[in-house]
C-alpha cells in the first residue's frame, strides 16, 4: 500500500472519531433541555471510551492491509510526511497528530517512539494558529443598547427551552457585574462582548463563557444557567473572579461537554481568560483527555530538558497499594501500583486498575482528582534520587525495566500534587483547621450524592488544593455507594455476652459510620469540629438515605462556585427558587 494511502486511512479514522465524538456531545443540549440527567451522565461516560475504540478500528484496518509485525522505517517516515501534509489546513490538526501517535504506538514497539516516526513534539508550533474568532462571536452594545445586547447573546445561545423571567435575570446580571467588576461599568459605546458560541454543559448546569473588552482592559466571566423547579431556565450566578473560574475548570471535576470545530482556538480563548491554566488542563476540561495527555507529556519532557531537580519520595504517609513519588519543581505526583499489598488490602492489581477506571468514567463532583494514565514512561536514572531508586526496585520491580541509564516504568498514574490533609493540619491555624475539616465533611457528602463510597476515609487519603478545597485522591478502596451496607453499631448487653451471639460481626460490604470518629478523627479538636459541622455523617440513616436518593435517580446539583455568588442572595424576590 502506498504511503499516502496509509496516511489517508489513518486520517479517515481520526475524522470518523471526531465526527462521532461531536455527534455524541451534541446530544447534551437536548438532554439538558429535557432535564435528562442520567442521559448526560451516559454521554459523558461514553465519550471517555470512544477514542480507544476508534483507534482499535483503525489499527485493525491497517493490519488487514499491510504487514505490521516489523517496522518498515523508510515507509513510515514517508507516511508521517504525507500525514503532515494532509494536516496543513486541518481545523483539528493537533488532535489528528495525537490520533496518529496512538495508532502507531499500538502497532509497534516503544523503541520506535521517537520524533522520526511519531509527533513527540508537535510539528504545528510554527504553523499559523487558527484564529480564536473561529469559536466566539462579538457583540456591540453601541448598536442596540446594553440590555437588548445581553438578551440577544442569551437568546442566540440556544438552550432549547425558555427562560422563566429573562428580563429579571438580565437586571440581576448587570447588578452583579457592577458589584463584582466595577471597572467594566462603561457606557454602551465603550465596550464589546466576546462570547463563545457554544454553551458548556456539565451535570445539571449550563455555562455561557466570554469576556468584556473595554478601555479598562479585558474582564473574563462565566454565567451559570440552571433549570427552575417550577419550569423554565434562570441565570443562577455570575463568576468574574479568576480563582473561581479556575475552580470551575478544575482537575477534580467531570469534563465539560461543548461543541467545537476548532479545539485549539477554543483552548487559546480559554487560556486568555485563565492564563494560569495549561493547555493540557484546558484540553482535559473540555473532554479531549487524550490531547490533554499529549500536551502534559510535552510539558513533562520540556521540564526534564530544562531543569535539574530530582524525583523524590512524595511527602505524606506511605501508601499500602501505591508507590508515590514527585519532582520538586513540577506540580504533579507519580503513582505506581506496588508488587505486593499490605495484608489489610484483600484485593489485587486488577481491582486497583478497575477502581481507578471507575473514577475516570464517573462524575467526580469536584472532589476526586483526575488521573492521567501512561505506559512505558522512560526516566533518566540520573534524575532519580538514590533513596527513591532503591525503594522503586524494592516495591515496584514488576513494573520496572532498567535499560542502561534509563528506567522504564511500564504503567503509572499522574495526578496534580496537593498537600495531604493530615500534613496540612500539622501547621494549620485554628481558622484553617476549621475550614478544611468542614470541607472534608462536604467532600464526603458530595461524593455520596454521586454514588461514590470513598472506602478508606483516613485524612492521609485527601489533599488540600491551593484553593483550600479538600479533594480525595486514593481510589484503591472506592466502590459504588449503593453496593455497601450501612449499619448502626449494635448495643451490647450482658445477655449477649452470655449467649455467645456476635452482633458485631461484619460482612465485607458492611460499614459502621459511627466509627468514622473512632478510627479517623482520633484528635479531639478535629473530632469536635467534625461532630459540630457534620453530625449526620455519623449516623447510618444518613448514608442509607443517600443510597435511596441514588437508587431513585435523585440527581442533586453540586455548585462549583460559592453559594454567595448565587443571585438568590442579590434579590429577595427570588429567594423561593429551589433546584431539583
Model pLDDT for residues 455-471, shown as the tens digit of each residue:
989 999 999 999 899 99
Please tell me whether residue 209 adopts helix, strand or coil conformation. Answer: strand
Distance between start and end Cα atoms, the chain:
58
- Range 174-184 average pLDDT: 85
d(CA 24, CA 31): 11
| Average of per-residue pLDDT values in the chain | 91
Write down the pLDDT at residue 572. Answer: 55
Residue bearing cell 481558622: 431
Q: 3.40.50, 1.10.3470, 3.40.140, 1.10.510: which CATH number matches 421-551?
A: 1.10.510
pLDDT single digits (tens) 3-13: 999 999 999 99
Look at residue 320 and tell me whether its pLDDT is greater than 70.
yes
d(CA 65, CA 84): 21
> What is the helix (H) or strand (E) element at residue 174, kind and residue range?
helix 166-180
20-28 — which CB contacts under 8 Å span 24+ positions?
20/50, 20/54, 21/47, 21/50, 21/51, 21/287, 22/259, 22/260, 24/50, 25/257, 25/258, 25/259, 25/287, 26/259, 28/201, 28/257
Active site (annotated) includes residue 370 = yes
Look at residue 370 and tell me whether its pLDDT is greater than 60.
yes
Binding-site positions for ATP: 314-320, 335
d(CA 206, CA 225): 5
pLDDT single digits (tens) 44-102: 999 998 999 999 999 999 998 887 778 899 999 999 999 999 999 999 999 999 999 99
Binding-site positions: 314-320, 335
For residue 275, give every residue at least 6 positions away whose Cβ sits within 8 Å of its Cβ, in sequence order, or none: none
d(CA 579, CA 226): 8
Burial (CB count within 10 angstroms: exposed 0-12, middle 13-18, buried 19+), residue 183: exposed
Mean pLDDT lowest among 108-112, 123-127, 404-408 = 123-127
Catalytic residue among 194, 363, 370, 439: 370
- Range 541-570 average pLDDT: 91
DSSP lists the bridge partners of residue 408 as: 378, 401
d(CA 128, CA 138): 22
Amino acid at each position: 500500500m502506498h504511503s499516502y494511502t496509509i496516511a489517508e486511512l489513518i486520517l479517515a479514522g481520526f475524522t470518523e472519531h471526531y465526527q462521532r465524538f461531536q455527534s455524541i456531545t451534541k446530544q447534551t443540549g437536548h438532554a439538558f433541555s429535557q432535564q435528562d440527567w442520567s442521559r448526560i451522565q451516559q454521554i459523558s461516560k461514553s465519550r471517555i471510551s470512544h477514542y480507544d475504540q476508534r483507534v482499535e478500528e483503525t489499527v485493525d484496518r491497517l493490519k488487514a492491509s499491510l504487514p505490521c509485525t516489523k517496522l518498515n522505517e523508510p515507509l513510515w517516515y514517508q507516511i508521517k510526511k504525507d500525514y503532515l501534509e494532509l494536516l496543513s489546513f486541518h481545523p483539528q490538526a493537533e488532535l489528528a497528530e495525537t490520533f496518529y501517535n496512538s495508532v502507531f504506538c499500538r502497532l509497534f514497539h516503544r523503541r520506535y517512539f521517537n520524533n522520526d516516526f511519531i509527533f513527540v513534539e508537535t510539528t504545528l508550533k510554527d504553523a499559523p494558529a487558527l484564529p480564536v474568532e473561529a469559536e466566539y462571536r462579538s457583540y456591540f452594545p453601541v448598536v442596540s443598547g446594553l440590555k437588548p445586547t445581553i438578551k440577544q447573546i442569551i437568546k442566540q445561545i440556544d438552550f432549547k427551552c425558555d427562560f422563566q423571567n429573562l428580563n429579571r435575570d438580565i437586571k440581576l446580571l448587570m447588578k452583579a457585574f457592577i458589584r463584582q467588576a466595577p471597572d467594566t461599568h462603561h457606557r454602551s459605546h465603550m465596550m464589546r462582548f466576546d462570547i463563545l458560541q457554544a454553551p458548556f454543559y456539565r451535570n445539571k448546569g449550563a455555562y455561557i463563557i466570554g469576556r468584556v473588552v473595554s478601555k479598562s482592559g479585558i474582564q473574563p466571566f462565566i454565567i451559570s444557567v440552571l433549570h427552575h423547579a417550577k419550569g423554565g431556565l434562570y441565570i443562577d450566578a455570575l463568576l468574574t473572579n479568576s480563582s473561581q473560574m479556575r475552580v470551575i475548570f478544575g482537575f477534580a471535576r467531570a469534563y465539560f461537554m461543548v461543541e467545537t470545530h476548532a479545539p485549539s482556538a477554543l483552548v487559546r480563548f480559554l487560556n486568555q481568560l485563565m492564563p494560569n491554566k495549561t493547555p493540557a488542563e484546558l484540553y482535559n476540561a473540555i473532554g479531549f483527555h487524550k490531547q490533554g495527555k499529549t500536551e502534559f507529556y510535552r510539558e513533562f519532557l520540556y521540564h526534564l530538558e530544562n531543569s535539574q531537580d530530582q524525583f523524590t519520595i512524595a511527602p505524606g504517609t506511605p501508601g499500602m497499594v501505591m508507590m508515590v513519588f514527585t519532582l520538586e519543581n513540577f506540580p504533579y505526583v507519580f503513582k505506581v501500583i506496588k508488587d505486593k499489598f499490605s495484608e489489610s488490602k484483600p484485593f489485587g492489581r486488577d481491582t486497583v486498575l478497575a477502581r481507578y477506571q471507575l473514577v475516570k468514567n464517573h462524575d467526580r463532583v469536584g472532589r476526586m482528582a483526575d488521573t492521567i494514565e501512561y505506559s512505558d514512561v522512560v526516566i533518566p536514572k540520573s534524575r532519580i534520587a538514590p533513596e527513591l531508586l532503591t525503594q522503586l526496585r524494592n516495591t515496584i520491580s514488576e513494573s520496572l525495566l532498567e535499560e542502561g541509564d534509563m528506567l522504564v516504568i511500564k504503567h503509572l498514574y499522574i495526578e496534580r500534587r496537593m498537600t495531604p490533609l493530615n500534613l496540612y493540619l500539622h501547621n494549620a491555624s485554628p481558622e484553617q483547621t476549621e475550614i478544611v475539616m468542614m470541607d472534608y465533611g462536604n467532600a464526603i457528602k458530595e461524593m455520596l450524592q454521586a454514588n461514590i463510597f470513598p472506602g478508606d476515609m483516613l485524612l492521609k487519603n485527601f489533599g488540600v488544593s491551593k484553593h483550600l478545597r479538600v479533594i480525595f485522591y486514593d481510589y484503591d478502596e472506592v466502590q459504588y455507594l449503593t453496593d455497601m451496607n450501612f449499619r448502626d453499631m449494635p448495643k451490647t448487653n450482658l445477655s449477649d455476652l452470655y449467649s455467645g451471639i456476635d452482633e458485631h460481626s461484619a460482612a465485607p460490604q458492611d460499614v459502621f459510620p459511627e466509627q468514622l470518629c473512632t478510627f479517623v478523627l482520633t484528635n479531639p479538636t478535629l473530632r469536635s469540629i467534625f461532630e459540630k459541622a457534620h453530625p449526620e455523617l455519623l449516623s447510618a440513616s444518613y448514608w442509607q438515605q443517600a443510597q435511596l436518593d441514588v437508587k431513585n435517580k435523585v440527581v442533586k446539583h453540586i455548585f462549583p462556585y460559592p453559594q454567595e455568588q448565587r443571585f438568590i442572595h442579590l434579590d429577595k424576590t427570588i429567594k423561593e427558587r429551589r433546584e431539583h
